[in-house]
Structure 1
Amino acid sequence: MSQPKRRKGAQKRVRVTIDANRTGSGMVSVQFGGVTVQTDPVQPSVLAQNVASGREALRRAARGIPKIGVHIARMPDVPLFRVDPHHPDRVIRQMGDKIESGVFMNGRFKVEP
């Protein structure tokens, strides 16, 4: 079976499988696809230091993300759409002070009581 043609500028997908095994020599063998790397095992103190620095980085990042969600600035004549929480098959349209519930039919919003 032939492969589908890639779109122009699309990145090639790469699959990486990682398996880590201890060898008899005290070394750790890590395999990335067809490449095997052998290294000394991680010392517990180094592992603890890396975990601590990762937690500190997460704390710093969390301070920069104070609220969950996205803020959308409202424009006067542009409707804002959201899912109706009481009727998931319907949409709520809000424009200014006017709020209506309905559905999209043929690409247009249709108000439904």
Structure 2
Amino acid sequence: MVLVLVIWIRALTLPGATKGMLYFVSADFSRFADSQLWIEASFQTFLTLGPGWGGLMMMGAHNKFRTNCFQSATISTTATLTFGLVNGLIVFSVLGVMSEEIGVPISDLMTSG
């Protein structure tokens, strides 16, 4: 986590990082009607929360009987969501820097293969 924060801090000092983060948090509402968008979003959800499922099962198997499992599951899911959003901001800040350096829009940079 420390290395990820160092990369983000370094990216924030370069031009284009804020443009990338704004691209991450802005939504194109016209694309919400596209079913492919929702399929990709569900894949991303499973990939993001997948590692947390093992932890939830482990906590359920090794905790005492009276442990508040709902609280543990909520904390684990919230932490996973928070780390996912922070990592998304970091990736898009780096994409913003890359698009600024080579002069290509972020949308073209993401789909360039």
Which structure shows the bigger proportion of residues in strand conformation?
1
TM (normalized to structure 2)?
0.24
TM (normalized to structure 1)?
0.24
Q: Which has the higher contact order (CA 8 A, sep 6+)?
A: 2
Which structure shows the bigger proportion of residues in helix conformation?
2
